């Protein structure tokens, strides 16, 4: 059995910055409310006709990760792509990326686990590397939320939170078993699926013919639904559990954590976890202030930025943790 290590990181966010004040011009909200409840100052939203899509952003992040790893795209054996906002309902975005990057006929797998999508994707890739099946896997999280949000006062409880962007890592074979990804932990609780959800517009739970027949201008079912307070309460419990699970599994304590990179759901959630574990500010990386919640892209963007800014060094213990729609949650413990 091998281990796997993150050998390269990359990220991409669209140019278009949308501030809280910009939002207050199109809905009844305020900079104060958004900052106080979420910590978000601004987010990136793809501008119409800019050319960016979920897959294209994924490619940009992937190209940076491959360059950062010091390899070429021809060294990549497999793609695992996490998103809740693929360009097409089907096929998934992994094959789009495979085609745009001209990567022969390597396999491409899509992961649909929303905010914990990147942890699930990383864990999946880790298994392929551990068994020796692949040597280098591209693991990508990319999201376009801006096109699907209700940007009126009716949707303000959801739309102010989410942002667009992509992050990627190259996961590579590591011969030293005490380095790289030491463990991953995955959980779900489907009974809460509807608490943070979006029906398949025109498919699955609602038929195209019904939507056309109803032709209802007040139909909100095209927009994501979130029971914010319920999600928040579950998130803080599950984050705590799954971080502890990773530490216990590896006989480590909170003191060993060099950097916790939590999914950027809400700054108040990250701060709650930081207090609960009594971690210092230097031990927790947050960038939700700049990008909002980018679901499956949030951890790889934050990890790539933290690495770029010199917060991660060789042998550091890095803990990734996420919680979100499903509910699904997970963690990954890495010795860098």
- The catalytic residue positions are 115, 263, 293
Query: CA 273 to CA 267: how far, in whole Å?
Result: 10
Nearest residue to the partner ligand UT7, using Cβ? 228
Cβ proximity to ligand UT7: between 15 and 229 the closer is 229
313: Cα within 13 Å, side-chain hemisphere: 2
Tell which positions 184-213 bind ligand UT7, by CB under 6 A: 196
Cβ proximity to ligand UT7: between 170 and 269 the closer is 269
Site track 217-256 with ligand UT7 (rule: CB under 6 A), x = hit: -----------xx-xx--x---------------------
Would you state the torsion angle of the CA atoms of residues 270, 276, 282, 285, taken in this order, to the nearest 10 degrees? Answer: -20
**108 in Cβ contact with 79 (< 8 Å):** yes
Q: Does 41 bind ligand UT7 (CB under 6 A)?
A: no
**How does 248-280 read in b/e, with b if 16+ C-beta sit within 10 Å?**
eeeebeeeebbbbbbbbbbbbbbebbbeebebe
Considering Cα of 116, then 163, then 142, then 273, what sign does the dihedral take?
A: negative
**230 in Cβ contact with 224 (< 8 Å):** no
> For ligand UT7, which stretch binds (CB under 6 A), given 31-39, 66-74, 237-245, 306-314?
31-39
Query: CA 32 to CA 30: how far, in whole Å?
Result: 5
Could you say which of 156, 185, 238, 335 contacts ligand UT7 (CB under 6 A)?
156
Query: CA 332 to CA 181: how far, in whole Å?
Result: 7
Shortest distance (Å) from residue 331 CB to ligand UT7:
15
> For ligand UT7, which stretch binds (CB under 6 A), given 26-34, 93-101, 130-138, 211-219?
26-34
Site track 116-155 with ligand UT7 (rule: CB under 6 A), x = hit: ----------------------------------------
Instruction: Catalog residues that contact ligand UT7 under the rule CB under 6 A.
Output: 29, 33-34, 37-38, 115, 156-157, 160-161, 196, 228-229, 231-232, 235, 265-266, 269, 293, 324
């Amino acid at each position: 059995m091998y281990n796997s290590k993150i050998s390269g990181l990359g990220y991409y966010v669209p140019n278009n910055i949308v501030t809280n004040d910009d939002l207050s011009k199109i809905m009844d909200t305020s900079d104060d409310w958004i900052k106080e409840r979420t910590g978000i100052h601004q987010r990136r939203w793809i501008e119409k006709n800019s050319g960016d899509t979920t897959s294209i952003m994924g490619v940009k992040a992937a190209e940076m990760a491959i360059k950062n790893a010091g390899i070429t795209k021809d060294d990549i054996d497999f793609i695992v792509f996490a998103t809740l906002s693929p360009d097409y309902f089907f096929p998934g975005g992994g094959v789009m990326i495979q085609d745009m990057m001209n990567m022969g006929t390597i396999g491409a797998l899509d992961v649909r686990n929303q905010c914990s999508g990147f942890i699930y994707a990383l864990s999946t890739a880790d298994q392929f590397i551990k068994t020796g099946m692949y040597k280098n896997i591209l693991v990508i999280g990319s999201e376009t939320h801006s096109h699907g949000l209700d940007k009126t006062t009716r949707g303000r409880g959801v739309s102010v939170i989410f942002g667009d962007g992509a992050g990627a890592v190259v996961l590579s074979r590591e011969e030293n078993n005490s380095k790289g990804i030491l463990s991953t932990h995955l959980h779900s609780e489907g009974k809460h699926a509807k608490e943070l959800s979006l029906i398949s517009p025109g498919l699955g739970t609602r038929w195209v013919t019904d939507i056309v027949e109803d032709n209802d201008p007040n139909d909100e079912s095209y927009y994501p639904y979130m029971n914010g307070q319920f999600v928040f309460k579950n998130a803080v419990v599950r984050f705590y559990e799954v971080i502890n699970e990773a530490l216990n599994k590896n006989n480590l304590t909170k003191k060993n954590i060099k950097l916790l990179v939590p999914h950027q759901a809400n700054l108040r959630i990250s701060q709650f976890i930081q207090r609960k574990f009594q971690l210092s500010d230097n031990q927790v990386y947050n960038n939700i202030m700049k990008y909002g919640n980018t679901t499956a892209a949030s951890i790889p963007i934050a990890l790539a930025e933290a690495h770029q800014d010199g917060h991660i060094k060789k042998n550091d213990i890095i803990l990734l943790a996420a919680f979100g729609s499903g509910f699904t949650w997970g963690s990954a413990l890495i010795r860098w």
